[in-house]
């Protein structure tokens, strides 16, 4: 017998000796192999499907991000281009990296290519270069800064601009460029200057109106030194004619004439200054001196109303940096209002206006005018500073409005408060000047 099993199987097959149960076994094995292959392909197919699904999701998420980024960029570009003011980016040397259409047009260029790569300093007027360099250096250190400068524009004319510059950073915080938003403020500034000129014209008209009312008082005020001059001159002449040896007494009279003449001249100069068209210029001024001079001018008119003016001037009240003529106008307006209020028949008691000056604990200079007139009705107190608000038959209603503008232009505050018993107190504070008064 052949011992080799393969030979035995071959012999069985050849000899038809294989049994049915062997066939069943073989079929079962084949079936299991086919079923295994089927399961394997199902598993592989599902694996493939899930990988494909994941890849699809990732791809659509990326597409979504890209679309969002592109939308965002488009939005930023629209914002950038839709600005009516000039928006630009420049590097630390001032080289322009990009600029919107409004800026390009403002500079008279036709396209971005004509501007990108040039220096901001070729447009900014030379006198502002140093300040802009300081601003730019500060922005590249992480600060925001603003300044005004003149730019050479398309038509060759210079216009005034205001620019606000901030650092532009990347996602890691590194500063890539300076982002500047620059707007043309020429028209606004011209309008402000025109309004200021109107106000000063109005203030001048108000001063002249006041002067008209003061005229009679002034005549009285000037009468005193002029009468004194005449008296002293007559005395000097008499002495020189009758007793030439009494020269010393004549010299005394002549000195008194000179003094009184100077006083009269000072009153006239002051009146001329008040109505002059000269632009108000700021300089260190002594507040007590202004009060003394205005009381001198207001006293005759007050006397006609039967009102006394008393001064309580704080020693060393100090000096403020101000336009003398404008401060005089404010003090005069407050005095005139107080006198007019006390001239009302309702005012009772000993009519006196008290004008006082002092240095406040925070170092400002304060001037107050206190009256004991009828006071101001609660409904009116918020309106007294409004232009053209008046309760007087012949009032313009501009005195307090002009006064408040003047005080605010000096960084000060004008206020009113009712007195405890009767009348009101108007007052203002001004920052004290660091500068001393010229000798």
Ligand X SMILES: Nc1ncnc2c1ncn2[C@@H]1O[C@H](COP(=O)(O)OP(=O)(O)OP(=O)(O)O)[C@@H](O)[C@H]1O
Q: Is 391 in the site for ligand X (CB under 6 A)?
A: yes
3-state secondary structure of 128: helix
Q: 136 near 178, Cβ under 8 Å?
A: yes
Residues 239-268 that bind ligand X (CB under 6 A): none
392 is an interface residue for ligand X by CB under 6 A: yes
- From residue 358 to residue 387, what is the string marking binding to ligand X with x (rule CB under 6 A)? -------------x-x--x-------x---
Q: At 325, list the tokens.
A: 């003529």
Which among 90-98, 110-118, 183-191, 391-399 is the span making contact with ligand X, rule CB under 6 A? Answer: 391-399
- Residue 140 interacts with ligand X (CB under 6 A): yes or no: no
Backbone φ and ψ for 4, nearest 5 degrees, come out as -70, 120
Contact 313, 331 (CB under 8 A): no
163 binds Mg ion (CB under 5 A): no
Least distance (Å) between residue 237 CB and Mg ion: 46
Q: What's the token pair of residue 72? A: 């965002």
Place of tokens 């009102």: 307
Decide which of ligand X, Mg ion, none touches 391; Cβ closer than 5 to 8 Å per partner kind.
Answer: ligand X
Dihedral (CA of 288, 289, 294, 295) sign: positive
Q: By CB under 6 A, name the one of 390, 409, 413, 431 that touches ligand X.
A: 390
The residues that bridge with 178 in the sheet, in sequence order, are 90, 167
Pairing of strands 145-152, 282-286: unpaired
Q: Which of residues 391-410 bind Mg ion (CB under 5 A)?
A: 399
Provide, rounded to whole angstroms, the least separation between the CB of residue 193 and ligand X.
24
Tell the residue number behind the tokens 């839709």, with chain if given.
82
Among residue numbers 290 through 349, which ones bind Mg ion (CB under 5 A)? Answer: 337
Neighbours of 16 (CB within 10 A): 6
Closest alpha carbon to 99 in 108, 89, 109: 89
Q: Which is nearer to ligand X, 140 or 389 (CB)?
A: 389
Q: Which does 95 bind (CB under 5 to 8 A by kind): ligand X, Mg ion, none?
A: none
Taking the complex as a whole, the smallest distance from the CB of residue 420 to Mg ion amounts, in Å, to: 24
- From ligand X, Mg ion, none, interface partner of 142 (C-beta below 5 to 8 A by class): none
Contacts with ligand X, residue ranges (CB under 6 A): 333, 337-338, 341, 371, 373, 376, 384, 389-392, 395-401, 424
């Amino acid at each position: 017998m052949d011992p080799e099993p393969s030979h035995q199987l071959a012999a069985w097959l050849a000899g038809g000796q294989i049994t049915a149960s062997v066939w069943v076994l073989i079929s079962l094995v084949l079936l299991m192999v086919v079923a295994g292959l089927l399961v394997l392909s199902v598993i592989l197919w599902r694996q493939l499907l899930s990988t494909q699904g994941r890849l699809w999701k990732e791809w659509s998420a990326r597409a979504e991000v890209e679309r969002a980024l592109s939308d965002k960029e488009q939005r930023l570009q629209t914002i950038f281009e839709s600005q009516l003011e000039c928006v630009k980016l420049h590097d630390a040397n001032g080289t322009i990296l990009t600029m919107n259409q409004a800026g390009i047009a403002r500079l008279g260029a036709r396209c971005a290519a004509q501007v990108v790569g040039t220096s901001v300093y070729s447009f900014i007027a030379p006198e502002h270069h140093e300040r802009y360099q300081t601003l730019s250096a500060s922005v590249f250190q992480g600060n925001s800064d603003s300044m005004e400068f003149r730019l050479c524009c398309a038509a060759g004319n210079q216009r005034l601009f205001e620019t606000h510059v901030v650092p532009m950073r990347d996602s890691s915080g590194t500063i890539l460029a300076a982002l500047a938003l620059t707007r043309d403020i020429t028209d606004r500034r011209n309008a402000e200057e025109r309004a200021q000129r109107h106000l000063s014209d109005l203030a001048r008209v108000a001063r002249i109106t006041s002067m008209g009312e003061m005229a009679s008082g002034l005549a009285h005020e000037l009468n005193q030194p002029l009468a004194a001059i005449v008296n002293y001159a007559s005395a000097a002449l008499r002495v020189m004619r009758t007793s030439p040896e009494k020269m010393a007494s004549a010299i005394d009279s002549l000195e008194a004439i000179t003094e009184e003449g100077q006083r009269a001249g000072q009153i006239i100069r002051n009146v001329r200054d008040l109505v002059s068209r000269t632009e108000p210029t700021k300089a260190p001024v002594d507040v007590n001196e202004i009060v003394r001079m205005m009381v001198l001018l207001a006293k005759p008119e007050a006397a006609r109303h039967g009102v006394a003016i008393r001064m309580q001037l704080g020693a060393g009240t100090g000096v403020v940096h101000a336009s003398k003529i404008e401060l005089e106008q404010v003090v005069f307006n407050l005095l005139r209002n107080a006198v007019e209020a006390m001239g009302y028949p309702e005012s009772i008691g000993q009519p006196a206006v008290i004008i006082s000056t002092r240095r406040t604990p925070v170092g400002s200079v304060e001037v107050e005018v206190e009256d004991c007139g009828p006071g101001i009705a609660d409904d009116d107190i918020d309106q007294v500073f409004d232009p053209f608000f008046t309760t007087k038959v012949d009032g313009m209603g501009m005195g307090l409005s002009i006064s408040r503008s003047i005080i605010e232009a000096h960084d000060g505050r004008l206020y009113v408060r009712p007195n405890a018993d009767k009348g009101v107190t108007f007052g203002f504070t001004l920052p004290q000047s660091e500068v001393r008064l010229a000798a």
